Amino acid sequence: MHTLILKKPLAFFDLETTGINVIRDRIVEISVVKALPNGELDIRTHRVNPEMPIPVESSMIHGIYDEDVKDCPTFKGIAKSIAAFLEGCDLAGFNSNRFDVPLLMEEFLRVGVDFDVKGRRLVDAQRIFHLMEPRSLSAAYKFYCGKELTDAHTAEADAMATYEVLNAQIARYAGVKIKDDKGKEIEPVQNDIEILHNLTATRSVDFAGRMIYNDKGEEVFNFGKHSGKRVFDVLKEEPYFYDWMLKGEFPLDTKRKLTEIKLRALTQR
């Protein structure tokens, strides 16, 4: 029985991959620990054939080699069942907003499975950890739970550890106040998924952070010669920039968000 107050399931998930490039790399293992509002857990773990060689430096981290996954299903083969398992769930992980969610989204888009994070709350336990106790997952597990993470870098162990860490964070920081960057006293960690989402959310429009929201809530580019400029203005003044990005080596999620802004701009003319 967990201490999290949930209005709908919260799916803690972790990926083991061929590398850390969101565009090029692939999943070799995914584990989801679904925490239900009634306190129960539903755990599912899949090994995945990435359809590409696993670099030895990655295998040395997570212990999964080409031979281990050669007979496993591809992501395309399990994508629909994973999407169905995550249906109606908010998502949680450790460094998930910067890596796991973007890479999982790329995998879904690549195989044509509709999986949208709109309306889902995204809780990143690492951001809470770094805010309150800057360290790593193994250290977080020892610090909050008093246990050694002996199977670190196996997807199920990491996902389960993250579940335990977030529960411990909720218990530890209940009522704890800190000062924000303006010197105002706040209570950042509360047992409310909406509050945790807002606490750990990024300002990114797309998961790769190529576009972010400025202080006015407007989408602006976050790279290159147009950094800081409103996406709407750039697409209007230099329409070829849109084509350049669509043909370039950018994540599918970035291209999709850019297209949504372009279509919205067209309707506002």
Q: Is residue 3 part of a domain?
A: no
Q: Are residues 144 and 245 in the same domain?
A: no
Give residue 66's Cα distance to chain centre. Answer: 25
Q: Are residues 147 and 225 in the same domain?
A: no
Tokens (6 digits) for 60: 């040395």
Model confidence at 268: pLDDT above 80: no
Q: Are residues 88 and 186 in the same domain?
A: yes
Rounded-to-10 torsion of CA 138, 127, 193, 203: -150
Domain coverage including residue 111:
10-200
Q: Identify the domain boundary among 200, 220, 251.
A: 200
Q: Identify the domain boundary among 142, 165, 200.
A: 200
Lowest mean pLDDT among 43-57, 155-169, 197-211: 197-211
Q: Are residues 129 and 234 in the same domain?
A: no
Rounded-to-10 torsion of CA 130, 195, 86, 257: -80
For residue range 226-260, list pLDDT tens digits in order.
999 999 999 999 999 999 999 999 999 999 999 99
Q: Is residue 5 part of a domain?
A: no
Q: Are residues 136 and 225 in the same domain?
A: no
Averaged over 162-168, what is the pLDDT?
96
Q: Is residue 205 part of a domain?
A: no
Q: Is residue 206 part of a domain?
A: no
Tokens (6 digits) for 203: 């300002």
CATH code at 169? 3.30.420.10
pLDDT at 269: 60
Q: Are residues 64 and 172 in the same domain?
A: yes
Q: Is residue 229 part of a domain?
A: yes
Distance CA 54, CA 65 (A): 6
Q: Is residue 77 part of a domain?
A: yes
Task: Count Cβ atoms below 10 Å from residue 153 Cβ, excluding itself.
Answer: 18
Q: Identify the domain boundary among 200, 225, 255.
A: 200
Q: Are residues 151 and 19 in the same domain?
A: yes
Q: Which of 201, 214, 265 is nearest to 239 (CA)?
A: 265
| Structural domains of the chain, count | 2
Q: Which residues does residue 30 pair with via DSSP β-bridges, in sequence order?
A: 15, 46
Q: Are residues 190 and 227 in the same domain?
A: no
pLDDT at 248: 95
Longest CA–CA span in the chain (Å) reads 59
pTM over 0.85: no
Distance CA 201, CA 121 (A): 9
If pLDDT is split at 50, 70 and 90, which confidence band does 265 have?
confident
Q: Are residues 107 and 232 in the same domain?
A: no
Q: Is residue 88 part of a domain?
A: yes
Model confidence at 1: pLDDT above 80: no
Q: Are residues 247 and 162 in the same domain?
A: no
Mode of pairing for the β-strands spanning 10-17 and 90-93: parallel
Q: Are residues 99 and 216 in the same domain?
A: no
Q: Is residue 147 part of a domain?
A: yes
Q: How far is CA 197 from CA 180, 193, 208, in A?
A: 17, 6, 18
Q: Are residues 217 and 191 in the same domain?
A: no
Averaged over 23-46, what is the pLDDT?
97
